Structure 1
Amino acid sequence: MTEHSTPFERSTALDGIASLRHGFFGRQGGHSTGAFASNNMSIAIGDEPRLAEANRSGAAQELGYLRQNLYLLRQTHSADVRTLTDYPDNDIAFDADAMVTKLPTLALGILTADCTPILFADAEAGVIGAAHAGWRGAVDGIIGNTVDAMVALGADPKRIVAAIGPTISGDNYEVGPQFMTDFVALQPDGWRHFHVPEGKRTHFDLPGFVEAQLRAAGIETVDRVGGCTYGHPDRYFSHRYATHHATKTGRQIAIIGLS
């Protein structure tokens, strides 16, 4: 964790790209209170919108961007990718779960609270991407679709660096046998990402599956950043942890942008 007014974590692999700014922000360093304390980024879950907006501004500014240059999607657990060839209007919501661009000074933001945030960059092509990968989006192809959209802008999968941010770990993602059956029906080789701890139900390794999908898309450099969202409720927002404790939770943000 870096020492900033708004703490965030960074990928050592992405840090090597001089033209890039990025950060995986957790739940600390913001303005929200109660169950959303303190750095909640979502305005759709019950927090005061003005506080969430202040948090978004703080994260953008921490990376050297204006709030108006931080763009967020309306995420729907889909496999849809938006290619940004013009600077978007922040007041217009767009349904998708990933976005790619070559535009400078545009920061791409992804919200999560157990799902996997992924930041992508091809330094030579000057192409970046950001994706929200829950199990549904991952099994439906959000990762391959994001890479394809980057390639359409001139990227090469072998040059792309991908960083997986804080997400729920397999040790804490209990799903049950029917989930595994349904999942493997969609992804036959997905069985390798399930395990059954002694005396417990079936567990799913979401970040492991995400990494496998990244490598299947031709990406050779995959970095993992941060810890388990469920296992560290003091550091991250976790929807599953909040559900198990009959409370609400916020959303953290992962941001990437070109200088």
Structure 2
Amino acid sequence: MHTWYWRNWEGLPYLTCSILEDWHHGFFTQQFWPRSPQVLTEVLQPEASVYRLKQVHGNTILTPQEIDSIFCTDGEDLASADGLMSEQPLQAVWVASADCTPVLIGDVKTGRVAALHAGWRGTAKKIVPLAIARLQSQGSKLDDLRIAIGPAIAGEVYQVSINVAAEVGSSIIPHDEEQKIITALHELPNSPLLEDPNPGKVRLDVRRVNILQLENMGISAEQIAIAPYCTFQTPEHFFSYRREKEKKVQWSGIVSSNKLNFK
């Protein structure tokens, strides 16, 4: 089993996971709000360069070089995407979330890392498998990946419509018919769907769908760690948009190894 640890910086708590022990990383709490990724990188590894995005609930994954080229051409402050993948040593990549699932990935052989924002829309669009495919295209092997899925809203409290559940479910059950997707999801062992008393609604475990996507790629359970915290049910540590309806976030970040191996 992988262990999650509470760390402390100037009296403020953040989470790390043993599965990512080779990298400086953290899933930061609401106590750090409104500090920026620049400040949070100082907590993890001050010499790292810092990268973040304008998140748009899609499945685009960018590298720092691509961000720099977009920034130069369109004049925007931030590139629009929901995933970041390192190319060089000492690159800190960050995503923000407030119920959506933050995913941090490291490759034990190359030292490369990725940070992903996987809400229900990004999960439906397979952002995590797409990021892994991109890492593979850069030389990563599936067996070398370590994946930490951070605090997010838990299935038992995440009510969605049947059509949202079917859209997300179609990422693991390829079918055109909504009801067939829902039925097949309910039949899965440890199903990502739970019953809801309201007609036309279900409870959806988005993190579980991401795990099923990873398993479908051939990634083993030992390579994945899931934070034992729900943002909605842990108000003392995490913002929840669904609970508070406030546009606040917590940041999750990871720094690529300073000994990147480009074999």
Partner of 1:46: none
Code of the residue aligned with 1:120 in structure 2: it is I
Q: How does 1:151-230 map to 2 (within 5 A)?
A: 151-184=136-169, 187-188=172-173, 191=185, 192-197=191-196, 201-220=201-220, 221-230=223-232
Deviation, 1:198, is 6.1
Distance 2:235 2:131 in 1: 29
Q: Which region of structure 1 is more displaced relative to structure 2, 162-171 or 212-221?
A: 212-221
CA distance in 2 between counterparts of 1:131 and 1:71 reads 12
Aligned-pair CA distance for 1:182: 4.3
Q: Distance in 1 between matches of 2:118 and 2:139?
A: 23
Q: Which amino acid aligns with 2:239?
A: F
SS of 1:223's equivalent in the other structure is strand
SS of the aligned residue for 2:130 comes to: helix
Which of 126, 129, 136 is 2:114 aligned to? Answer: 129
Gap change, CA 1:182 and 1:24, over 3 Å in 2: closer
Q: Is residue 2:16 matched to residue 1:10?
A: yes
Aligned length: 229
RMSD value over aligned CA atoms? 2.4
1:116-143, CA deviations, whole angstroms, 9 ceiling, x for partnerless residues? 0000011212221111001111111211
Counterpart residue type for residue 28 of structure 2 = F
- Aligned CA distance change for structure 1 residues 8 and 164 (closer, same or farther; 3 Å): same
Percent identity of equivalent pairs: 24
3-state SS of 2:159 partner: coil
Counting only pairs closer than 5 Å after superposition, residues 52-67 of structure 1 correspond to structure 2 as 52-53=35-36, 56-65=37-46
Aligned partners of 1:13 and 1:183: how far apart in 2? 27
Structure 2: gaps of 5 or more residues: 1-5, 174-180, 186-190, 259-263
Q: 1:80 is matched by which residue type in structure 2?
A: T
For normalisation by structure 1, the TM-score amounts to 0.80
Structure 2 CA distance for aligned equivalents of residues 233 and 170 of structure 1? 16
* Alpha-carbon displacement from aligned partner over 1:150-207 (angstroms, at most 9, x marks no partner): 1121111111000000100001101133433444456536724211056784100111
SS of 2:102 mapped into structure 1: strand
Q: C-alpha separation between the residues in 1 aligned to 2:219 and 2:170? A: 25
**What one-letter code is carried by the residue in structure 2 that aligns with 1:254?**
S
Amino acid aligned to 1:115? C
Indicate yes or no: 2:59 matched with 1:79.
Answer: yes
Paired residue type of 1:234: E
CA contact (8 A) 2:126 2:171 kept: no
In the alignment, what sits opposite 2:255? 257
Q: 1:35 maps to which residue?
A: none
In structure 1, the partner of 2:261 is none
- Measured in 1, the distance between the counterparts of 2:139 and 2:239 equals 35
Query: Is the contact made by 1:127 and 1:154 (CA closer than 8 Å) also made in structure 2?
Result: no
Structure 2 partner of 1:238 = 240
CA distance in 2 between partners of 1:139 and 1:182 (Å)? 6
Q: CA 1:139–1:199 in 2, change beyond 3 Å: closer, same or farther?
A: closer
- In structure 2, what is the Cα distance between the partners aligned to 1:219 and 1:133? 18
Q: Aligned pair in 2 of structure 1 residues 183, 145: CA closer, same or farther (>3 Å)? A: closer
1:33 — aligned with what?
none
1:120 is matched with: 105
Alignment correspondent of 1:24: 27
When residues 3 and 69 of structure 1 are mapped into structure 2, their CA distance, relative to the original with a 3 A threshold, is same
